Amino acid sequence: MESHYVLSLLFRRARAQDVPAIVAMLADDPLGAAREGDPNDERYLAAFERIDTDPYDELIVAERDGKVVGTMQLTYLAGLSRLGAERCQIEAVRVSAAHRGEGLGRKMIAWGIDRARARGCAMVQLTSDKSRTDAHRFYDSLGFVASHEGYKLAL
């Protein structure tokens, strides 16, 4: 996989040793704090291995000066709709607290959009909790349209 540099910022696929840093970012969040556990829990590594071996799934990290400072997951979804078009779904977007406000999230999402376009995806989609109003302004400004209701059912 090619790597893209923007100044000192690198986006690349995550490696197993990045998992604790990624989990720490997932947990360092008003909504995520209550639902995450020990970053070294083996279930996180098992989920990483599944993503890493799935040809349609990519766990991405943003690395600045050798340090993981952001993450997102890209999943390439098949479907019959729209003449069998592939869609890219973005999940689990996080920027480390120490690096917020630097435009890092914008560069990361833009990199993901470019990557989906280069694959020939017809659409990029994501959902964002209705309480994340700052995130909504962010996605609006990137050209996303909040055209859908995002439904969740906890099992």
In contact, 73 and 92? CB cutoff 8 Å: yes
Q: What are phi and psi of 137, to 5 degrees?
A: -60, -40
| Amino acid identity for residue 39 in this structure | P
d(CA 120, CA 123) in angstroms, rounded, equals 9
Closer by beta carbon to its own copies, 3 or else 53: 53
Q: Which of 4, 15, 16, 54 binds its own copies (CB under 8 A)?
A: 54
Closer by beta carbon to its own copies, 55 or else 101: 55
The owner of tokens 């340090």 is 67
Q: Residue 24, interface with its own copies (CB under 8 A)?
A: no
The gap from C-alpha 119 to its chain's centroid, in whole angstroms, comes to: 17
User: 102 in the Ramachandran plot: left (φ > 0), alpha (ψ -120 to 50) or beta?
Assistant: alpha
Which range touches its own copies (CB under 8 A), out of 5-13, 61-69, 99-107, 109-117? 109-117
The radius of gyration computed from the CA coordinates of the chain, to the nearest angstrom, equals: 15
Closer by beta carbon to its own copies, 31 or else 97: 31
- Closest distance to its own copies from the beta carbon of 154 (Å): 6
Dmax (CA) for the chain in angstroms is 44
Q: Residue 5, interface with its own copies (CB under 8 A)?
A: no
Closer by beta carbon to its own copies, 1 or else 145: 145
Q: By the criterion CB under 8 A, which residues form the site for its own copies? A: 19, 22-23, 26, 32, 35-37, 41, 43-44, 46-48, 50-51, 54, 56-57, 59, 73, 75, 77-85, 89, 91-92, 113, 116-117, 121-130, 136, 139, 142-155
